[in-house]
């Protein structure tokens, strides 16, 4: 019997530096190349899309280059996907994400939206007519914000009280919930934000619905691409990242012929052509933003993140803040002060050369950010202290 290959933590860190385009000699030339390499960029904090991309480009493209890919060329798409989270994905992968994951999420959102509307006295016929009016108006306008669309379609301004009688009672409009559902179903898509690249309020536009695909086929393809970027990894890593059930994860791994390998924590998987070692890159450092895909791509992070650093770098909901990396390990964090200065703190010694390299990366990031001020949407203890 052939022995199962073993991939140690040092080799996993080498793969991360190479395949996540973090080692300088492996950086990319375009935002599209970056996004393909990491499969999906977290977009629930809009700034993370741009900062994650800039960190992986050999010659950091201006903000306009990322915006062009998103809003003019449409080579990148902003959409809800894994774990109901907002991501930016390559246009060619959007239908895979939709069929593998978002369709099921959208169905649940549709049920919740219908129940929400019913509490305000609006039945399914009323909702269907409101959606037809909204899509027609949006098609004619080309693109519009939620408030602009509400001005064109008065039905969307109808309000319903949620959590009545509780301290967090609030009023929500039909339009706010409807646009989220239509976006998940693929009828509409987010376009340019209102304001700068750190803004979370976007214009909406209609789009051609994604083609129907068997969910199992799409899950196998997504698992294959994820393993290429994040493997070796465990079943639980993929289950956590996708939000799929255990049966779906195991079926997807089998469909892409994933090969079991030994890891320090037990059994992991790689693609069949990926059992051999990766050449370790030259020493490297990186300053990555909150919710960067490198730390958010797997559930178990012991091989690049010491346990003692987690309290400083995560918020209470499990969202990671801005991090400093050295040779595939998280060694500190960074923040931007009100005057624009990029400041950082190491949580462990890294040596004089690496520390100097961190300073150079901070200067590189500062030059790229320019006059823009960045506050992560999910704030962590270290980021709060450094930015004070």
User: Is 25 part of a structural domain of the chain?
Assistant: no
43-82 pLDDT per residue, tens: 999 999 999 999 999 987 789 999 999 999 999 999 999 9
Sign, CA torsion 55/59/61/62: positive
In degrees rounded to 5, what are phi and psi of residue 332? 180, -165
Q: For residue 23, give the DSSP letter.
A: S
Structure tokens at 35: 């996004």
Q: Does residue 210 contact residue 99 with C-beta atoms inside 8 Å?
A: yes
| Longest Cα separation, the chain | 70
User: Is 318 part of a structural domain of the chain?
Assistant: yes
User: Is 264 part of a structural domain of the chain?
Assistant: no
Q: Where are the beta strands (DSSP E) in 250-341?
A: 259-263, 266-270, 285-288, 323-326, 329-336
Residue 239 pLDDT greater than 90, yes or no: yes
Residue 1 pLDDT greater than 70, yes or no: no
148-171 pLDDT per residue, tens: 999 999 999 999 988 888 888 889
Residue 126 pLDDT greater than 70, yes or no: yes
Span 297-315, average pLDDT: 96
* Residue 318 pLDDT grade (very low, low, confident, very high; cuts 50, 70, 90): very high
Residue 187: which of 138, 141, 123 has the closest Cα?
138
Residue 383: which of 337, 350, 339, 318 has the closest Cα?
337
Span 16-25, average pLDDT: 97
Structure tokens at 247: 């049966």
Q: Does residue 362 contact residue 321 with C-beta atoms inside 8 Å?
A: no
Query: What is residue 165's predicted lDDT score, i.e. its pLDDT?
Result: 81
Span 213-227, average pLDDT: 98
Which residues form the domain of 364?
285-387
182-202 pLDDT per residue, tens: 999 999 999 999 989 999 999
Query: What is residue 61's predicted lDDT score, i.e. its pLDDT?
Result: 73
Structure tokens at 136: 């027609």
User: Is 12 part of a structural domain of the chain?
Assistant: no
Q: Does residue 270 contact residue 258 with C-beta atoms inside 8 Å?
A: yes
In degrees rounded to 5, what are phi and psi of residue 159? -110, 150
Q: Is the bond preceding residue 66 a cis peptide, omega within 30 degrees?
A: no
Query: What is residue 164's predicted lDDT score, i.e. its pLDDT?
Result: 80
Query: What is residue 240's predicted lDDT score, i.e. its pLDDT?
Result: 97
Percentages helix, strand, coil for the chain (3-state, rounded to 5) are 50, 20, 35
In degrees rounded to 5, what are phi and psi of residue 4? -70, 130
User: Is 10 part of a structural domain of the chain?
Assistant: no
Query: What is residue 10's predicted lDDT score, i.e. its pLDDT?
Result: 97
Residue 345: which of 384, 372, 376, 315 has the closest Cα?
384
Q: Does residue 83 contact residue 242 with C-beta atoms inside 8 Å?
A: yes
User: Is 320 part of a structural domain of the chain?
Assistant: yes
Structure tokens at 132: 């037809």
Tell me which residue has tokens 């990029």. Answer: 342
Query: What is residue 76's predicted lDDT score, i.e. its pLDDT?
Result: 98
Q: For residue 194, give the DSSP letter.
A: S
Cα 350 to Cα 330: distance, rounded to the nearest angstrom? 11
284-297 pLDDT per residue, tens: 999 999 999 999 99
Residues of the chain above pLDDT 90, percent: 94
Q: Does residue 334 contact residue 289 with C-beta atoms inside 8 Å?
A: no
- Considering the chain, what is the average pLDDT of its residues? 96
Cα 345 to Cα 359: distance, rounded to the nearest angstrom? 10
* Residue 2 pLDDT grade (very low, low, confident, very high; cuts 50, 70, 90): low
Q: For residue 343, give the DSSP letter.
A: E
Cα 245 to Cα 75: distance, rounded to the nearest angstrom? 30
Provide the whole-model pTM.
0.95
Span 328-352, average pLDDT: 97
* Residue 321 pLDDT grade (very low, low, confident, very high; cuts 50, 70, 90): very high
Number of domains in the chain: 1
């Amino acid at each position: 019997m052939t022995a199962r290959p073993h991939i140690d933590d040092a080799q996993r860190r080498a793969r991360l530096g190479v395949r996540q385009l973090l080692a300088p000699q492996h950086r990319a030339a375009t935002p599209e190349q970056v996004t393909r390499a990491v499969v999906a960029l977290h977009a629930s904090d809009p700034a993370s899309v741009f900062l994650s991309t800039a960190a992986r480009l050999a010659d950091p493209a201006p903000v306009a280059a990322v915006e062009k890919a998103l809003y003019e060329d449409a080579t990148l798409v902003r959409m809800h996907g894994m774990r109901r989270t907002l991501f930016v994905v390559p246009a060619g992968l959007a239908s895979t994400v939709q069929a593998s994951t978002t369709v099921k999420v959208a169905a649940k959102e549709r049920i919740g939206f219908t129940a929400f509307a019913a509490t305000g006295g609006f039945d399914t016929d009323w909702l269907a007519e409101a959606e037809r009016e909204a899509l027609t108006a949006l098609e004619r306008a080309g693109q519009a914000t939620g408030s602009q669309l509400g001005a064109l379609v008065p039905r969307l301004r109808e309000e319903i009280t949620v959590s009545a009688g509780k301290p967090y009672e609030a009023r929500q409009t039909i339009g706010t919930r409807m646009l989220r559902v239509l976006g998940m179903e693929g009828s509409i898509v987010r376009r340019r934000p209102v304001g700068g690249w750190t803004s979370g309020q976007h214009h909406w536009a209609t789009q051609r619905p994604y083609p129907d695909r068997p969910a199992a086929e799409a899950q196998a393809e997504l698992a294959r691409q994820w393993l290429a970027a994040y493997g070796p990894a465990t079943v639980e890593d993929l289950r956590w990242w996708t939000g799929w059930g255990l049966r779906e994860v195991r079926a997807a791994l089998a469909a892409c012929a994933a090969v079991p390998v030994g890891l320090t924590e037990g059994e992991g998987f790689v693609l069949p052509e990926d059992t051999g070692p990766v050449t370790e890159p030259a020493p490297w450092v990186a300053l990555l933003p909150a919710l960067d895909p490198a730390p958010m791509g797997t559930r178990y992070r012991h091989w690049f993140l010491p346990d003692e650093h987690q309290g400083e770098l995560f918020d209470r909901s499990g969202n990671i803040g801005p991090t400093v990396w050295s040779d595939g390990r998280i060694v500190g964090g960074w923040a931007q002060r009100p005057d624009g200065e990029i400041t950082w703190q190491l949580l462990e010694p890294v040596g004089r050369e690496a520390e100097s390299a961190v300073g150079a990366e901070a200067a590189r990031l500062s030059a790229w950010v320019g006059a823009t001020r960045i506050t992560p949407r999910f704030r962590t203890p270290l980021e709060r202290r450094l930015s004070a």
